[in-house]
Structure 1
């Protein structure tokens, strides 16, 4: 494991994020999650005002310019109260745009993302291409100094209300697997772009999920991010960072659920004594706390590697999200169980935490896909080690 110690500034950020989440986000989350309405834009403005938006965006564009570990620490605290609010401070737009975008694109979009004015959506998933991103069929055809895009994207978070779409589209029909894919920046009012079905989901209604349709959507070449055919490579720049942060967000939800359940167990009495006095429940809580810490430390470790752009960063990030999302599912389920019948009611947030966790094992890389990536890395390491041993014999 990478050795690290939180700096005084990181501890300050963690404390400030916890205070903000508990005092200002919690009342809003309680109201919004009951009504099922989308997260209000005013919340993003509030988060920006308090210094919790554009965490990874450079200071010259109005962001905070924080390292990956600091971003993870902050969003862990935010998500301990409201996972949906943790979607916005770090997005999949920033990394690729800084890496491959033009100065004009960066100047146009990054300041508005940093101040909460611009909501973005990442349009990758299709009917036949979810975890298998290389199989996308949405196609962008070159027409002079424009591109004409046709295709459909499904299950796109905030797709129905995003101001800017980061679109994955194929630009070469006969390119090898993983090649011939490009990134486009599509503004909401672009002719030929429309929102299709809005999906009803068991959770995350604050960030509604929608189908996006591109019907002869014509955009200028200035909407292309980077070089044609290099989109798959560009997006890998951001995955190690965002998956490490996602793991920390899962740890935050798990910690929030366990903390609430433990507080409840202090005051809920059965058989003349509080639930917290029963050894079996205390032991179970201790086990869950240890599991949360394991997921947290894996995520912090992955965040450090992602910041340093080490070769092991993608695998570490996959491990972090895989473990932390599984732990979160276990913890939130047990939190409901700790509350008994009360845990099934909307009077307590643990039922929301429990419903939300299913996304964590599917979105931003399903648990199955992450296991595949990790196992592939292990196999490569094993083969390399065997080759080295054979060469030395």
Structure 2
């Protein structure tokens, strides 16, 4: 077990190892990945080679069994260099965690070792065009046909869709059942007949991570692909998000750190009125606020990671708080980094404009920050 507020020596060594990989193999391609809106295959390969691809998979399924703080550090450090690339380990955890939390031994043995080995990625299918924050109103249906299930419907905003081999998908299995208790989780494979993808979304940021719809047209899957209990899918989905909101907070911390690092290097070199920009008190106050808020976000994220590892009863509150606070801070810091560079910050010759665009999504996905505040408010009032 690790301390709530201070990572262990092993965590510090992990950070150094990930940072080395990011600096050499991932960050150098980030500008090109963004400009071409292409999947960061270089990052994918580097993460597989170094066991940072799906480090959360337990050792009994051939994984490295990294704890929740270690996974947060991996995602943070990758996001520092390339936000699109950080979605590879983040979404692998998001897509596979329902299997870990609710799957039987057969389905765990079928999918988790392949993920741990880097032979496949896995995505998460919860949101729909008309069911974003209100997930219980989803329309995708799964109907029994003998031992099989037939899926029909659409999932929207699916990260790494088309790249991933596997998809954990939520579908209504009892249309007349109690709202929220009539949804079941399934694993869908890319090769399943009747399963296809929509066009890639044209996005503000994280352009290297493809976002597409999942389309199900009488998609037949075998009965052994059910994850957890029939009707227990939404509960499993929300339980998953309690844990994975920590990874979004880690992404936010990482991209904010990358922007702050770059801005500090710039203002220490750039001169105006005969001295470095960094020597002006107003600039120093601005940098001080950025650093202070970033460290507060990091510490809250690490506390939430510790609670995720222990599965504490108040994880829902801390996961929401870390995600909301860290993502708001990331948007503020990346915007201020652009400001510190002045006109240079507004052009693509410098990475801070990309970081600002990438940071925005952390305030939106896995539950908007308005939804996170609803979660926190209800917890505090209950």
Query: Does TM-score exceed 0.5, indicating one fold?
Result: yes
Residue of structure 1 equivalent to 2:196:
194
The structure having more radius of gyration, on CA atoms, is 1
Residue of structure 1 equivalent to 2:84:
84
Q: 1:61 & 1:341 partners in 2: Cα distance?
A: 51
Deviation at 1:227, TM superposition (A): 1.6
Residue of structure 2 equivalent to 1:147:
149
Establish whether residue 129 from structure 1 lines up as the match of residue 131 from structure 2.
yes
Deviation at 1:111, TM superposition (A): 2.0
Q: 2:259 & 2:333 partners in 1: Cα distance?
A: 7
Moved more, 215-224 or 317-326: 215-224
Residue of structure 2 equivalent to 1:227:
229
Instruction: Determine helix, strand or coil for the equivalent of 1:126.
Output: coil
Q: How does 1:1-393 map to 2 (within 5 A)?
A: 3-40=4-41, 42-90=42-90, 91-380=93-382
Q: Deviations over 1:183-240 (max 9, x none)?
A: 1111111111111232111111211111111111111101111221111122233222
Give the root-mean-square deviation of aligned CA atoms.
1.4
Unpaired runs of 5+ residues, structure 1, are 381-393
- Superposition TM-score, scaled by structure 1 size: 0.93
Deviation at 1:283, TM superposition (A): 0.7
Instruction: Determine helix, strand or coil for the equivalent of 1:89.
Output: helix
Deviation at 1:306, TM superposition (A): 1.2
Residues 122 and 165, structure 1, Cα contact 8 Å, conserved in 2: yes
Deviation at 1:348, TM superposition (A): 0.8
Deviation at 1:316, TM superposition (A): 0.4
Instruction: Determine helix, strand or coil for the equivalent of 2:155.
Output: strand
- Superposition TM-score, scaled by structure 2 size: 0.95
Q: 1:109 & 1:239 partners in 2: Cα distance?
A: 20
Instruction: Determine helix, strand or coil for the equivalent of 2:53.
Output: coil
Q: 1:219 & 1:233 partners in 2: Cα distance?
A: 22
Instruction: Determine helix, strand or coil for the equivalent of 1:177.
Output: coil
Deviation at 1:119, TM superposition (A): 2.1
Q: Deviations over 1:280-333 (max 9, x none)?
A: 011110011100111111111111111111111111000000000000000000
Moved more, 95-104 or 297-306: 95-104
Moved more, 221-230 or 25-34: 25-34
Q: 1:175 & 1:374 partners in 2: Cα distance?
A: 28
Residue of structure 2 equivalent to 1:384:
none
Aligned length: 378
